[in-house]
Structure 1
Amino acid sequence: MTAITPDTLLAELHKAADAVSAQAAKLTEADVPAESALPGWTRGHVLAHITGISNAMARQLEYAARGETVELYDGGYEGRTKAIDMSAGHALEQHRADLDSALQRALRAFDSLDAVDTDAGDPDAGEAAAGAGGWSAPISYRGGVVLDGGFALWRELVIHASDLNTGRGPETWSRQFCEHLFTFLAARVPEDQKLVLQPLGLPRVTIGTGGRSTVVNGMVTDIAAWLAGREPSLGSLRASAAADGVDLPDLLPWPSGVPAN
């Protein structure tokens, strides 16, 4: 896999924010209460969540710049959920204003960081952030550093842009983003299993360390979507074990960065 530098990540955050704004611009007032691609959530819920995580991550960086840390959401997971539910029914104009403000706040916070040339080989662990100026400042999110927060916001923006269900599905995810998900979502592989991911035309990737091995073939975007709990849009996935076709294995829950308490 190609390592992602902080400079590359910063560019990807800007692209992802632009994509979210473009999808929000497509919506009509009637679209807000309509179903999103997430069960039980309207598009209004998704917009409220993107706004919330953008503000939350901006706040992580603002505190980190002062040498302080703060919880990701006021009130933890319960506070996050309450804020989404309260904002989901807002009018479209309010959603767009809140979203634009939150995205701009987050991008300003990341743009203010020192330029860094180091690689980010294991982004979730933040191993490559050591000695990287502002990118290595501690934050409360996963007990990590600012770099971890950047990867988290990237995931949230790209995946939830697809969850808005406006025609920009997982098939639009870049190879670089999909490979990042392979690393991050290795935490979803059950302890007794190992997954050999074989994207069509690309090198295979093995995640998990268990004794039960399953090979998952398909387009890189379909594999990433399945790992992320989303519907693969190209229908290319095939699983096999000991050369026999099998069902795709069950995965563990998404590795949440907000304790449920």
Structure 2
Amino acid sequence: MMDHARDLASVRDATKRLLTAAAELHNARAPEPSRLPGWTRGHILAHLARNADALVNVLQGRPMYASGAARDADIERDAPRPLDVQLADVRESADRFQDVAAVFVDWSRTVELRNGVTDQAARVPFRRWIEVELHHVDLGIGYELEDLPEEFTQREIDFLAARFRGHPDVPGLLIKQDDGSMIPSGAVESVSAQQLAGGYEPPLPALTVSGQRAELLGWLAGRRDGSALHVEGGTLPSLPPL
């Protein structure tokens, strides 16, 4: 079950970490390339600000973005701004999101995100946490996947594995973490931790991918190529874009 209040606190902490780290940059470094192809650090900061406002729209029952083109245009418009303006925008938009979430009531409600995707409102804070943590890594300023909070890394691996489960372009595979726990993905049925603890052994697919959590997350989230992972039963599949 989603704990939206706890996730909102985690979002607040993650935002503070990002703003503190980004404040050490100089203006000249904001236009430098980020780790995301085609995006500068300014693009990432602009996206984070506009994403916070977009999630306010979601919680208040409006479309997340006016359109995909409008979303992209807003990021392009805001990306070249001076660093102090960027950071103020990220901070103020993050505060707006927290303020709206603080008075939101119906967390069980189904909300609509981009491209027709729907989810429970209670998961919106976690989705914002994903944006802040992964894009902090994408800035390329010393924060790595290995630095992510352990709880976040585990939950994001679970979230992405579930997202790809049943996808027609993802083969049935089992994700095995370095602690021995297994997460079904692709076409494999979900197996609970309780079942595994009770001795149940799921029917294994032909393909098993194993490795450290940071490497698994990097591969699932499109941040690493998976070369550090161990694959049994075939070759590492290419995952569709998120």
Q: What is the TM-score normalised by the length of structure 2?
A: 0.83
Partner of 2:145: 170
1:248 aligns with 2:240: no
Q: How many residues align?
A: 221
Q: Which residue of 2 aligns with 1:151?
A: 126
Structure 1 residues 103-142: aligned runs within 5 Å: 103-113=94-104, 133-141=105-113, 142=117
Write out per-residue CA displacement over residues 13-70 of structure 1, whole angstroms, 9 at most, x where no aligned residue: 1222112212221221011110101011000000000011011112322x2xxxxx21
The answer as to whether partners of 1:195 and 1:215 remain within 8 angstroms in 2 is: yes
**Structure 1 residues 6, 46: closer, same or farther in 2, change over 3 A?**
same
Assess, with a 3 A threshold, how the Cα gap between structure 1 residues 157 and 56 changes in structure 2: closer, same or farther. same
- The equivalent of 1:33 in structure 2 is 31
Give the superposed CA RMSD.
2.2
Q: Is the 8 A contact 2:110 2:120 kept in 1?
A: yes
CA distance in 2, matches of 1:195, 1:16: 32
Deviation (angstroms), 1:150: 1.6
Contact 1:175–1:221 (CA under 8 A) maintained in structure 2: no
Partner SS state of residue 135, structure 1 = coil
How far apart, in 2, do the equivalents of 1:204 and 1:169 lie?
Answer: 24
**2:4–2:126 Cα contact (<8 Å) kept:** no
CA, structure 1 residues 194+182, in 2 after alignment: closer, same or farther (shift >3 Å)? farther
Q: Does the Cα contact within 8 Å between 2:49 and 2:94 map onto a contact in 1?
A: yes
Partner deviation per Cα, 1:102-135 (whole Å, 9 max, x = no partner): 111112222334xxxxxxxxxxxxxxxxxxx431
The answer for unaligned runs of 5 or more in structure 1 is 64-68, 114-132, 255-261
Tell which deviates more after alignment, 144-153 or 51-60: 144-153
Given candidates 47, 50, 53, the residue that maps to 1:52 is 50
1:37·1:164 contact (CA, 8 Å) conserved in 2? Answer: yes
TM-score by length of 1: 0.77
The residue type paired with residue 30 of structure 2 is V
Q: Which aligned segments of 4 or more residues in structure 1 are displaced greater than 6 angstroms? A: none
Residue in structure 2 matched with residue 214 of structure 1 by the alignment: 207
Whole-Å separation in 2 of the counterparts to 1:163 and 1:221:
14
Q: 2:62 aligned to 61, 70, 83, which one? A: 70
2:68 paired with 1:92:
no
Q: Which moved more, 1:188-197 or 1:158-167?
A: 188-197
CA contact (8 A) 2:108 2:122 kept: yes
Note if contact 1:223-1:232 (Cα within 8 Å) is conserved in structure 2: no
Which residue, 121, 131, 136 being the options, matches 1:161? 136
SS at match of 2:64: coil
Give the deviation of 1:149 after TM superposition. Answer: 1.8
Summarize the Cα distance change of 1:5–1:202 in structure 2 as closer, same or farther, 3 Å threshold: farther
Provide the rounded CA distance (Å) in 2 between the counterparts of 1:32 and 1:205. Answer: 38
Q: Which runs of 5+ in 2 are unaligned?
A: 189-203
Please state how far the C-alpha of 1:160 moved relative to its aligned partner: 0.5
Higher relative contact order (CA 8 A, sep 6+): 1
The partner residue of 1:5 within 3, 12, 16 is: 3
SS at match of 2:176: strand
Conserved? CA contact 1:183–1:207, under 8 Å: no
